[in-house]
Protein backbone atom coordinates (compact mmCIF):
# COMPACT_ATOMS: atom_id res chain seq x y z
CA UNK A 1 0.00 0.00 0.00
CA UNK A 2 1.25 3.46 -0.88
CA UNK A 3 0.32 6.13 1.67
CA UNK A 4 -1.28 9.11 -0.07
CA UNK A 5 -2.05 11.17 3.06
CA UNK A 6 -2.26 10.99 6.85
CA UNK A 7 -4.13 13.37 9.15
CA UNK A 8 -4.59 13.37 12.90
CA UNK A 9 -8.28 13.15 13.82
CA UNK A 10 -9.87 12.74 17.28
CA UNK A 11 -6.71 11.16 18.62
CA UNK A 12 -6.52 8.66 15.77
CA UNK A 13 -5.27 8.81 12.19
CA UNK A 14 -7.24 9.30 8.98
CA UNK A 15 -5.21 7.85 6.11
CA UNK A 16 -5.66 7.48 2.38
CA UNK A 17 -3.91 4.64 0.54
CA UNK A 18 -3.41 3.54 -3.05
CA UNK A 19 -2.56 0.08 -4.29
CA UNK A 20 -2.41 -1.89 -7.52
CA UNK A 21 -5.50 -4.07 -7.63
CA UNK A 22 -5.20 -7.39 -9.42
CA UNK A 23 -8.98 -7.84 -9.12
CA UNK A 24 -9.89 -4.58 -10.84
CA UNK A 25 -6.81 -4.38 -13.05
CA UNK A 26 -5.98 -0.81 -12.07
CA UNK A 27 -4.81 1.33 -9.16
CA UNK A 28 -7.45 1.65 -6.44
CA UNK A 29 -7.65 4.27 -3.69
CA UNK A 30 -9.29 3.82 -0.30
CA UNK A 31 -9.35 5.57 3.08
CA UNK A 32 -9.10 4.13 6.59
CA UNK A 33 -9.68 5.79 9.94
CA UNK A 34 -7.72 4.13 12.76
CA UNK A 35 -8.94 5.13 16.24
CA UNK A 36 -6.50 5.92 19.05
CA UNK A 37 -7.10 2.49 20.62
CA UNK A 38 -5.38 0.88 17.61
CA UNK A 39 -2.02 2.09 18.97
CA UNK A 40 -2.35 -0.52 21.75
CA UNK A 41 -4.49 -3.35 20.39
CA UNK A 42 -6.20 -4.64 17.26
CA UNK A 43 -9.62 -3.07 16.72
CA UNK A 44 -12.75 -4.25 14.85
CA UNK A 45 -13.48 -2.78 11.45
CA UNK A 46 -16.58 -1.07 10.03
CA UNK A 47 -16.92 -0.93 6.24
CA UNK A 48 -18.69 2.10 4.79
CA UNK A 49 -19.74 1.73 1.14
CA UNK A 50 -20.50 4.99 -0.66
CA UNK A 51 -23.17 5.86 -3.21
CA UNK A 52 -23.36 6.91 -6.85
CA UNK A 53 -20.72 9.42 -8.04
CA UNK A 54 -18.77 9.17 -4.75
CA UNK A 55 -15.12 8.31 -4.19
CA UNK A 56 -13.40 7.31 -0.95
CA UNK A 57 -13.33 10.99 -0.03
CA UNK A 58 -17.01 11.88 0.29
CA UNK A 59 -17.88 9.97 3.45
CA UNK A 60 -14.38 10.47 4.84
CA UNK A 61 -14.84 14.25 4.83
CA UNK A 62 -18.64 14.64 5.12
CA UNK A 63 -19.88 11.60 7.04
CA UNK A 64 -18.64 12.56 10.49
CA UNK A 65 -17.63 9.01 11.41
CA UNK A 66 -14.22 9.70 12.95
CA UNK A 67 -15.38 11.16 16.28
CA UNK A 68 -17.76 8.28 16.91
CA UNK A 69 -15.23 5.65 15.80
CA UNK A 70 -12.66 7.12 18.18
CA UNK A 71 -15.15 7.01 21.04
CA UNK A 72 -16.01 3.35 20.46
CA UNK A 73 -12.58 2.13 19.37
CA UNK A 74 -13.39 0.82 15.90
CA UNK A 75 -11.69 1.44 12.56
CA UNK A 76 -13.65 2.60 9.51
CA UNK A 77 -12.71 1.87 5.90
CA UNK A 78 -14.05 3.94 3.00
CA UNK A 79 -13.45 2.15 -0.34
CA UNK A 80 -13.94 3.73 -3.74
CA UNK A 81 -17.15 2.97 -5.61
CA UNK A 82 -15.59 1.68 -8.83
CA UNK A 83 -12.34 1.18 -10.73
CA UNK A 84 -10.97 4.32 -12.33
CA UNK A 85 -8.25 5.55 -14.64
CA UNK A 86 -7.05 5.40 -18.22
CA UNK A 87 -8.34 2.35 -20.02
CA UNK A 88 -11.22 1.78 -17.59
CA UNK A 89 -14.62 1.77 -19.31
CA UNK A 90 -16.96 4.66 -18.56
CA UNK A 91 -20.29 6.15 -19.60
CA UNK A 92 -21.46 9.72 -20.02
CA UNK A 93 -24.31 9.14 -17.54
CA UNK A 94 -23.56 9.70 -13.86
CA UNK A 95 -25.20 6.41 -12.85
CA UNK A 96 -23.18 3.97 -14.96
CA UNK A 97 -19.48 3.26 -15.22
CA UNK A 98 -16.89 5.03 -13.09
CA UNK A 99 -18.42 6.04 -9.77
CA UNK A 100 -21.25 3.53 -10.22
CA UNK A 101 -19.83 0.05 -9.71
CA UNK A 102 -22.93 -1.21 -7.83
CA UNK A 103 -20.74 -3.70 -5.93
CA UNK A 104 -21.18 -6.48 -8.52
CA UNK A 105 -18.79 -8.51 -10.67
CA UNK A 106 -19.51 -7.46 -14.25
CA UNK A 107 -19.82 -10.30 -16.75
CA UNK A 108 -20.34 -8.21 -19.90
CA UNK A 109 -17.97 -6.08 -21.94
CA UNK A 110 -16.78 -3.37 -21.79
CA UNK A 111 -17.19 -3.56 -18.00
CA UNK A 112 -15.92 -7.09 -17.29
CA UNK A 113 -12.15 -6.42 -17.35
CA UNK A 114 -12.25 -3.90 -14.47
CA UNK A 115 -15.66 -3.75 -12.78
CA UNK A 116 -15.21 -6.55 -10.24
CA UNK A 117 -16.24 -4.61 -7.15
CA UNK A 118 -17.93 -7.54 -5.40
CA UNK A 119 -14.68 -9.53 -5.29
CA UNK A 120 -12.64 -6.41 -4.63
CA UNK A 121 -14.57 -5.55 -1.45
CA UNK A 122 -15.15 -9.05 -0.10
CA UNK A 123 -11.75 -10.54 -0.97
CA UNK A 124 -8.84 -8.41 -2.13
CA UNK A 125 -9.30 -5.23 -0.10
CA UNK A 126 -10.46 -7.17 2.96
CA UNK A 127 -7.38 -9.39 2.91
CA UNK A 128 -5.08 -6.41 2.34
CA UNK A 129 -6.44 -4.41 5.28
CA UNK A 130 -6.50 -7.33 7.70
CA UNK A 131 -2.89 -8.21 6.83
CA UNK A 132 -1.47 -4.68 6.85
CA UNK A 133 -3.34 -2.79 9.59
CA UNK A 134 -3.87 -3.37 13.31
CA UNK A 135 -7.44 -4.62 12.97
CA UNK A 136 -9.29 -7.68 14.19
CA UNK A 137 -10.92 -10.07 11.75
CA UNK A 138 -14.32 -8.80 12.95
CA UNK A 139 -16.27 -6.78 10.43
CA UNK A 140 -19.41 -4.68 10.33
CA UNK A 141 -20.74 -3.18 7.12
CA UNK A 142 -22.90 -0.17 6.28
CA UNK A 143 -23.37 2.21 3.38
CA UNK A 144 -25.46 4.93 1.80
CA UNK A 145 -27.76 4.67 -1.25
CA UNK A 146 -25.90 2.48 -3.78
CA UNK A 147 -23.56 1.69 -0.90
CA UNK A 148 -26.51 0.72 1.30
CA UNK A 149 -27.52 -1.69 -1.45
CA UNK A 150 -23.96 -3.01 -1.42
CA UNK A 151 -23.81 -3.39 2.35
CA UNK A 152 -27.09 -5.31 2.54
CA UNK A 153 -26.40 -7.60 -0.39
CA UNK A 154 -22.78 -8.37 0.47
CA UNK A 155 -23.68 -9.17 4.07
CA UNK A 156 -26.68 -11.34 3.26
CA UNK A 157 -24.70 -13.28 0.67
CA UNK A 158 -21.71 -13.68 2.99
CA UNK A 159 -23.05 -13.90 6.55
CA UNK A 160 -19.89 -15.64 7.74
CA UNK A 161 -17.84 -12.57 6.78
CA UNK A 162 -19.80 -9.86 8.60
CA UNK A 163 -20.88 -9.57 12.23
CA UNK A 164 -23.13 -6.49 12.03
CA UNK A 165 -25.19 -4.77 9.34
CA UNK A 166 -26.84 -1.40 8.76
CA UNK A 167 -27.71 0.94 5.90
CA UNK A 168 -28.52 4.58 5.14
CA UNK A 169 -31.25 5.09 2.50
CA UNK A 170 -30.33 1.95 0.54
CA UNK A 171 -31.39 1.23 -3.02
CA UNK A 172 -33.61 -1.48 -1.62
CA UNK A 173 -35.20 -3.13 -4.68
CA UNK A 174 -32.93 -2.51 -7.68
CA UNK A 175 -34.51 -5.17 -9.88
CA UNK A 176 -37.66 -2.99 -9.89
CA UNK A 177 -36.01 0.45 -10.00
CA UNK A 178 -34.34 2.59 -12.63
CA UNK A 179 -31.48 2.72 -10.11
CA UNK A 180 -30.70 -0.93 -10.67
CA UNK A 181 -32.31 -2.27 -13.82
CA UNK A 182 -30.13 -0.09 -16.04
CA UNK A 183 -26.92 -1.00 -14.25
CA UNK A 184 -27.65 -4.70 -13.66
CA UNK A 185 -28.53 -5.20 -17.33
CA UNK A 186 -25.36 -3.37 -18.42
CA UNK A 187 -23.04 -5.25 -16.07
CA UNK A 188 -24.72 -8.67 -15.90
CA UNK A 189 -26.83 -9.00 -19.03
CA UNK A 190 -30.55 -9.18 -19.71
CA UNK A 191 -31.28 -12.39 -17.79
CA UNK A 192 -33.15 -10.98 -14.81
CA UNK A 193 -32.70 -14.25 -12.97
CA UNK A 194 -29.07 -13.24 -12.45
CA UNK A 195 -30.10 -9.96 -10.87
CA UNK A 196 -31.85 -11.39 -7.81
CA UNK A 197 -28.54 -12.08 -6.05
CA UNK A 198 -27.99 -8.30 -5.95
CA UNK A 199 -31.40 -7.23 -4.64
CA UNK A 200 -31.60 -6.84 -0.86
CA UNK A 201 -35.39 -7.15 -0.76
CA UNK A 202 -35.30 -10.48 -2.59
CA UNK A 203 -32.30 -11.73 -0.61
CA UNK A 204 -34.00 -10.86 2.67
CA UNK A 205 -37.20 -12.63 1.67
CA UNK A 206 -35.30 -15.78 0.71
CA UNK A 207 -32.38 -15.93 3.15
CA UNK A 208 -32.85 -13.32 5.88
CA UNK A 209 -29.91 -12.13 7.97
CA UNK A 210 -28.35 -13.90 10.92
CA UNK A 211 -28.68 -10.92 13.27
CA UNK A 212 -30.59 -7.66 13.50
CA UNK A 213 -30.42 -4.82 10.99
CA UNK A 214 -30.54 -1.04 11.36
CA UNK A 215 -31.90 1.01 8.44
CA UNK A 216 -32.38 4.78 8.43
CA UNK A 217 -34.31 6.45 5.62
CA UNK A 218 -35.07 10.14 5.20
CA UNK A 219 -38.82 10.68 4.91
CA UNK A 220 -38.20 13.71 2.67
CA UNK A 221 -35.66 11.91 0.47
CA UNK A 222 -36.04 13.20 -3.08
CA UNK A 223 -35.26 9.72 -4.45
CA UNK A 224 -37.81 7.63 -2.53
CA UNK A 225 -39.40 6.28 -5.72
CA UNK A 226 -36.00 4.99 -6.86
CA UNK A 227 -34.91 3.64 -3.47
CA UNK A 228 -38.18 1.78 -2.75
CA UNK A 229 -37.81 1.52 1.05
CA UNK A 230 -41.36 0.19 1.33
CA UNK A 231 -40.27 -3.01 -0.43
CA UNK A 232 -37.51 -3.66 2.08
CA UNK A 233 -39.80 -2.81 5.01
CA UNK A 234 -42.38 -5.27 3.68
CA UNK A 235 -39.73 -7.97 3.34
CA UNK A 236 -38.62 -7.37 6.93
CA UNK A 237 -42.20 -7.81 8.11
CA UNK A 238 -42.85 -10.85 5.91
CA UNK A 239 -39.66 -12.56 7.03
CA UNK A 240 -40.18 -11.43 10.63
CA UNK A 241 -36.58 -10.30 10.47
CA UNK A 242 -35.23 -8.60 13.61
CA UNK A 243 -34.64 -5.05 12.43
CA UNK A 244 -34.98 -1.38 13.28
CA UNK A 245 -36.31 0.54 10.27
CA UNK A 246 -36.60 4.28 10.91
CA UNK A 247 -38.22 6.84 8.63
CA UNK A 248 -36.56 10.08 9.71
CA UNK A 249 -38.91 13.03 9.37
CA UNK A 250 -37.65 15.95 7.29
CA UNK A 251 -34.36 14.36 6.19
CA UNK A 252 -33.31 14.13 2.53
CA UNK A 253 -30.70 12.02 0.69
CA UNK A 254 -27.66 14.19 1.38
CA UNK A 255 -24.63 13.73 3.62
CA UNK A 256 -26.35 16.00 6.14
CA UNK A 257 -28.67 13.03 6.66
CA UNK A 258 -25.79 10.54 6.91
CA UNK A 259 -23.85 12.79 9.29
CA UNK A 260 -26.92 13.20 11.52
CA UNK A 261 -27.20 9.46 12.19
CA UNK A 262 -23.59 8.34 11.80
CA UNK A 263 -23.19 8.22 15.58
CA UNK A 264 -26.18 5.90 15.95
CA UNK A 265 -24.79 3.52 13.34
CA UNK A 266 -21.26 3.45 14.73
CA UNK A 267 -22.65 2.74 18.22
CA UNK A 268 -24.89 0.01 16.76
CA UNK A 269 -21.92 -1.72 15.15
CA UNK A 270 -19.64 -1.20 18.14
CA UNK A 271 -22.14 -2.94 20.42
CA UNK A 272 -22.09 -5.98 18.13
CA UNK A 273 -18.38 -5.99 17.28
CA UNK A 274 -16.70 -5.28 20.63
CATH of the domain at 9: 3.40.50.1820
CA distance 81 to 101: 6
Q: Which of 149, 166, 221, 269 is catalytic?
A: 221
Asked if residues 28 and 21 have their Cβ atoms less than 8 Å apart, the reply is yes
User: Percentage of the chain surpassing pLDDT 90?
Assistant: 100
- Give me the chain's average pLDDT, please: 97
Q: Which of 145, 164, 166, 177 is catalytic?
A: 145
What band does 107 get if pLDDT is binned at 50, 70 and 90? very high
Tens-digit pLDDT profile for residues 2-53: 999 999 999 999 999 999 999 999 999 999 999 999 999 999 999 999 999 9
Helix, strand, coil % (nearest 5) of the chain? 40, 25, 35
Give backbone dihedrals phi and psi of 5, rounded to 5 degrees, phi first. Answer: -160, 155
Assess whether 221 carries a catalytic annotation: yes
77: helix, strand or coil = strand
Assess whether 163 carries a catalytic annotation: no
Assess whether 145 carries a catalytic annotation: yes
Give me the number of domains the chain comprises: 1
Can you tell me the mean pLDDT for 164-184?
A: 97
Asked if residues 168 and 143 have their Cβ atoms less than 8 Å apart, the reply is yes
Q: Which of 56, 72, 139, 253 is catalytic?
A: 253
Is the model's pTM score more than 0.75? yes
Domain that holds residue 35: 2-273
Strands of the sheet with 26-34, listed across from one edge: 2-9, 12-21, 26-34, 75-79, 43-49, 135-143, 164-168, 213-218, 243-248
Amino acid sequence: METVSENRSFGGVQSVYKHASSTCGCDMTFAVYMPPQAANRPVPLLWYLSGLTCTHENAMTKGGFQEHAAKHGIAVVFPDTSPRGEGVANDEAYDLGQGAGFYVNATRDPWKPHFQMYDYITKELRDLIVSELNVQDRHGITGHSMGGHGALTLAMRNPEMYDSLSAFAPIAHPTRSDWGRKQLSAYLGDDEGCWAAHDSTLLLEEHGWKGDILVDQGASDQFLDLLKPEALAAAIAKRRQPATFRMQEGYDHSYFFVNSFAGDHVAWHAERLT
